[in-house]
Amino acid sequence: MSAIRLGLCIPERKKSAICLPERIEALCDEKNIKIIEIDIDADLESQGPFDVLLHKIIDYYNVFPIQEADEKVKRLVSYATRHSKMVVLDDFDWCLRLTKRKSMIEVFEHCQFIMDDIKVFFPKTVELTAEMSSSDIELVIRNTDIRLPVVAKPFSAALDDGSHNMALVFSEERLIDLKRPCLIQEFCNHSGVYYKVFVVGDRFNICENPSIRDFHQKDNDCPTIFFNTRTIAKVGQPFNSNLHDKDPNDRDWLSCDQQPNLLNRNLIKEIIQRMRQKTGIQLFKFDLIVERDTGHYGLIDMNQFPSYRGIDSKHFPKHLVELITNYR
């Protein structure tokens, strides 16, 4: 049986960060998969053919100026178009679309359902444009019946230095001060914990992460709190008394290896099936919260080809190679 030719097209910085191809080399040898590290600037035809193309095109925009990144991506997309039998991990269009939060909402709308008396939802979200006046914003709040506090999020979810900069707003009057355009999303109390679900094909792993503490009626007079999610919602970051109830470093954050029943696995499987049905992508992560008072699951974020940090390091390479061999 001939080897599967796996083309790897990932910027050097990203390859180093996720230790590819090193972490899959032994398994690929075992499964008769030949890894070809693609030079995006060289002739692609002479480097192929490839049975499977594994790429991270959005990272080219983090490394190169937009025009140069565009040229590299177009070159790869053109090659894939000419070789339609080649399996592409993942769909180029959705990889780019998921860098925008509006596209995430489109996916989340497809993933709302009830199972085992648990509702899967995404918190009510509305758009504030740069042109809106105070009265315009007031009208939007009234018409949509969105409840405060809200989390203000930029349109961009990646490829932008400010994509992780957010604000927690407690009063309607302070919404006018936000940097717009932006999305505002109802804040749901979730006991200061959110969950990352890492997906490779139909395999998944879950881990807990620190999040924003619960807020109550007495907090309605709080000033707007500006924060970066990378410092608030990440293990190992400093305690923030405004947003954390307790120091997140004082407890262990579990994965499904330590606690198999972190979440309802049937619900997670259904969410994954719906996300894959909508986007066709195989390598992704989504974040969810468990609403404190209801136990319902709120979808809050999604991205393609994540780092897979937070779960046991053996899972990603094993599941990735398994996925690739399925295309034999």
Amino acid at 196: K
Q: Which two tokens stand for residue 106?
A: 């489109």
Angle formed at CA 285 by CA 199 and CA 187, multiple of 5 degrees = 140
Residue 192 assigned as binding residue: yes
Dihedral over Cα of 298, 301, 303, 309: its sign:
negative
Residue 287 assigned as binding residue: yes
Q: Cα–Cα distances in Å, from 153 out to 228, 242, 284? A: 10, 18, 21
Residue 185 assigned as binding residue: yes
Residue 196 assigned as binding residue: yes
Residue 194 assigned as binding residue: yes
Query: In terms of Cα–Cα distance, which of 302, 297, 244 is closest to 276?
Result: 302
- Which residues make Cβ contacts (< 8 Å) with residue 165, sequence separation at least 6? 154, 226, 227, 228
Q: Which two tokens stand for residue 2?
A: 């001939």
Residue 189 assigned as binding residue: yes
Angle formed at CA 289 by CA 286 and CA 294, multiple of 5 degrees = 140
Residue 95 assigned as binding residue: no
Q: Is the separation of the CB atoms in 238 and 230 below 8 Å?
A: no
Query: In terms of Cα–Cα distance, which of 188, 195, 196 is closest to 213?
Result: 188
Residue 222 assigned as binding residue: no
Residue 56 assigned as binding residue: yes
Q: Cα–Cα distances in Å, from 258 out to 205, 295, 311, 312? A: 11, 21, 10, 10
Overall size of the chain counted in residues:
328
- Which residues make Cβ contacts (< 8 Å) with residue 141, sequence separation at least 6? 172, 175
Residue 191 assigned as binding residue: yes
| Residues of the binding site for ATP | 101, 153, 185-196, 211
| Residues of the binding site | 14, 56, 101, 153, 164, 185-196, 211, 287, 301, 303, 307
| Residues of the binding site for Mg(2+) | 287, 301, 303
| Residues of the binding site for 1D-myo-inositol 1,3,4-trisphosphate | 14, 56, 164, 196, 303, 307
